[in-house]
């Protein structure tokens, strides 16, 4: 959240059209509210609070860029749910290159990635996606293709296929 706020602060200074939509709620809400008040940005930051899962797609459609500025995490495996949601919604993605993100959403192919903690690079990536609609569309389209290949139904299908093959092998061997 601190990187997101720093990036938004820099973008907001350069262009009053920038807005920040924070979907969800959590222990850092006060930090966001304090930032908004200190920087006179309360009218440009919207926090939805907790929302039903079914409300998320409509909120994602309001975004120009899906941002995921993850911190540096050593040897940490995670499933970046927000990045998957951005990809499935057809949003261009600006994210930290951490974990498997670079393999799943290659830089300049399916997202614009930056090293964790590099706020200046995050700012440039967000600004680039907003200023280059063709790039944003191309990356969003490719990210959506990645999301389709990794959908729960496809993964479940692969697991079932492997299980069926295993059962067949054991049946023939037994």
Q: How far apart are CA 82 and CA 80, in angstroms?
A: 6
Distance spanning both ends of the chain, measured CA to CA? 56
Q: How far apart are CA 57 and CA 67, in angstroms?
A: 15
Which residues pair with residue 40 across a beta bridge?
none
Sheet holding 112-114, edge to edge: 66-68, 93-96, 112-114
pLDDT of residue 156 exceeding 80, the answer is: no
pLDDT of residue 173: 78
Average pLDDT over all residues of the chain: 91
Give all strands (DSSP E) within the chain, no chain letters. Answer: 20-22, 45-47, 66-68, 93-96, 112-114
pTM of the model: 0.84
% of the chain surpassing 70 pLDDT: 91
- 85-96 as b/e: b if 16+ CB within 10 A: bbbbbebbbbbb
For residue 31, name the pLDDT band (cuts at 50, 70, 90): very high
pLDDT of residue 157: 63
Per the listing, tokens 């009218």 go with: 43
pLDDT of residue 138: 98
């Amino acid at each position: 959240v601190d990187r997101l706020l720093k990036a938004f602060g820099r973008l907001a200074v350069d262009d009053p059209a920038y807005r920040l939509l924070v979907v969800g709620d959590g222990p850092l809400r006060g930090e966001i509210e304090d930032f908004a008040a200190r920087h006179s940005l309360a009218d440009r930051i919207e926090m939805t609070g907790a929302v039903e899962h079914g409300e998320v797609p409509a909120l994602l459609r309001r975004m120009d860029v899906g941002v995921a500025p993850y911190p540096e995490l050593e040897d940490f495996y995670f499933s970046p749910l927000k990045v998957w949601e951005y990809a499935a919604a057809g949003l261009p993605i600006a994210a930290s290159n951490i974990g498997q993100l670079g393999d799943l959403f290659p830089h300049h192919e399916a997202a614009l990635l930056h090293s964790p903690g590099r706020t200046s690079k995050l700012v440039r990536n967000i600004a680039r996606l907003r200023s280059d609609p063709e790039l944003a569309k191309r990356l969003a389209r490719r990210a959506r293709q990645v999301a389709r290949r990794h959908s729960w139904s496809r993964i479940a299908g692969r697991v079932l296929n492997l299980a069926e093959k295993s059962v067949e092998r054991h049946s023939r061997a037994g």
